[in-house]
Amino acid sequence: MELLNGRYTLDGMDLLNLASEFGSPLYVYDTATIERQYRRVEKAFQGVNLKLKYACKANSNQAILKFLNKLGAGLDAVSIEEAELGLKAGFSASEILFTPNGVSFEEIKKGVELGLVINIDNISILEQFGNEYGGTVPCCIRLNPHIAAGGNQHIQTGHIDSKFGISVHQVRHIERVVKSCSIRVEGLHIHTGSEILDSSVFLRAAELMFDAAQQFPDLKFIDFGSGFKVAYKEGDVTTDIEELGNELTERFNSFCKQYGRELELWFEPGKFLVSEAGVLLVHVNIIKQTMATVFVGVDSGQNHLIRPMFYDAYHEIVNITNPTGKQRIYTVVGYICETDTFGWDRKLNEVREGDVLAIKNAGAYGFSMSNNYNSRLRPAEVLIHDGRALLIRKRESLEDLLRNQVNIDI
């Protein structure tokens, strides 16, 4: 988002004009940022056989999926529905890694029927998989490294109390199941969580993976998940992708020589690719001053962007209507009948009723985690691509809320 000649733009498109044309609240994404982030990872790891699997849960709009497919990405799907969305967007089944958690074996069987790459994260499912498909369908195994990634505890997935993955200390148990059921293990997977700042976290996980890999002679890839941290405010420390690329590439290539053949190195970036590509535009409904606080009430809430309330996540907020106004302190809140705050005690250029605010870093886990609480409607989505603003999701209507309700006489 840039301020050009007194107007805020995203990839050259005037955001106030978009709010006027498409209404608010409104999610706006730009493909230029997505491609820039994608190419950055590619360049950082150009010394290995790299495969990027976009984490669909970050933003599953078909237009986003189609664009990433065009860039050459595969897909990381955590539900059978995400996998089906990926297939509809043009991904081949062999490009989709299916990593569900806590699902029944029936969902795993659906994944096999679709031809997905199956990633198994617990011993029980591994045994069922072996009994059903041993010797015929290969799989990947997700390990829990017992490494805390750092950052928000809600988005760590590799610590000792995490529900994700099979403990690295159970590799011997995995070996027994694999041998007994003649399972062909073609991949190992690890994911420590989001907001990894230090490349040493990846390197520590890598050493655990390389040790475990020696027990599986048929590997084709090792998947390090993701967790690359993006900046949410000025001065934020972020993951140094280039440093990580240099260090992990060297160590991975060394391991491949020891292993006896070249393997593919997989990552599953989601937030890193789409977060900075998106903004949420909201209109100011009211200015409400209390004895202690000046509230800015907007036409959106945690039903559209839950991250601030759910994760205590910081999203920068900008008054794009009044970019040169005097700065004052505001607390920006939503219209949901709950404590529903986008930002506490923020310095914003003077806000007036009717102004438009832009909430930044809204491209990931915004719309995909949205809901209809309070029977509020979900917003429209617009994609900026090749100098055009394209509507990629219509704003919901009351009919959408009623669509699956069954009208009965009581």
Mean pLDDT over 218-243 rounds to: 87
Q: What is the pLDDT of residue 196?
A: 66
Percent of the chain having pLDDT more than 70? 95
Residue 21 scores a pLDDT above 70: yes
Residue 198 scores a pLDDT above 60: yes
Map out the domains of the chain with their CATH numbers.
2-29+275-402 (2.40.37.10), 31-271 (3.20.20.10)
Q: What is the DSSP letter of 95?
A: G
Query: Which residues are part of the catalytic machinery?
Result: 337
- Here the tokens at position 185 are 């293990």
228 pLDDT band (50/70/90 cuts)? confident
> Average per-residue pLDDT in the chain?
93
Helix (H, G, I), strand (E, B) or coil at 56: helix
pTM: 0.92
* Alpha carbon of residue 45 to chain centroid: 20
Q: What is the pLDDT of residue 129?
A: 96
Residue 338 scores a pLDDT above 60: yes
Q: What is the pLDDT of residue 73?
A: 98
Residue 146 scores a pLDDT above 50: yes
Peptide bond into 25 cis (omega under 30): yes
The string of pLDDT tens digits covering residues 3-14 is 999 999 999 999
Mean pLDDT over 78-94 rounds to: 98
- Here the tokens at position 157 are 């997935």
Between vectors from CA 372 to CA 396 and to CA 318, what angle results, nearest 5°? 80
Give the alpha-carbon dihedral of 106, 110, 113, 119, to 10 degrees.
Answer: -90
Q: What is the pLDDT of residue 200?
A: 77
Count the neighbouring beta carbons within 10 Å of the beta carbon of residue 286: 11
Q: What is the pLDDT of residue 195?
A: 65
- The two most distant CA atoms of the chain are separated, in Å, by 71
Q: What is the pLDDT of residue 154?
A: 42
Min mean pLDDT across 48-62, 138-152, 374-388 is at 138-152
Residue 120 scores a pLDDT above 50: yes
* Alpha carbon of residue 1 to chain centroid: 20
Residue 156 scores a pLDDT above 60: no
Min mean pLDDT across 110-124, 195-209, 212-226, 319-333 is at 195-209
Q: What is the pLDDT of residue 194?
A: 55
Mean pLDDT over 42-69 rounds to: 97
Question: How far apart, in Å, are the Cα atoms of 320 and each of 12, 189, 352, 357, 360?
Answer: 15, 43, 11, 6, 11
150 pLDDT band (50/70/90 cuts)? very low
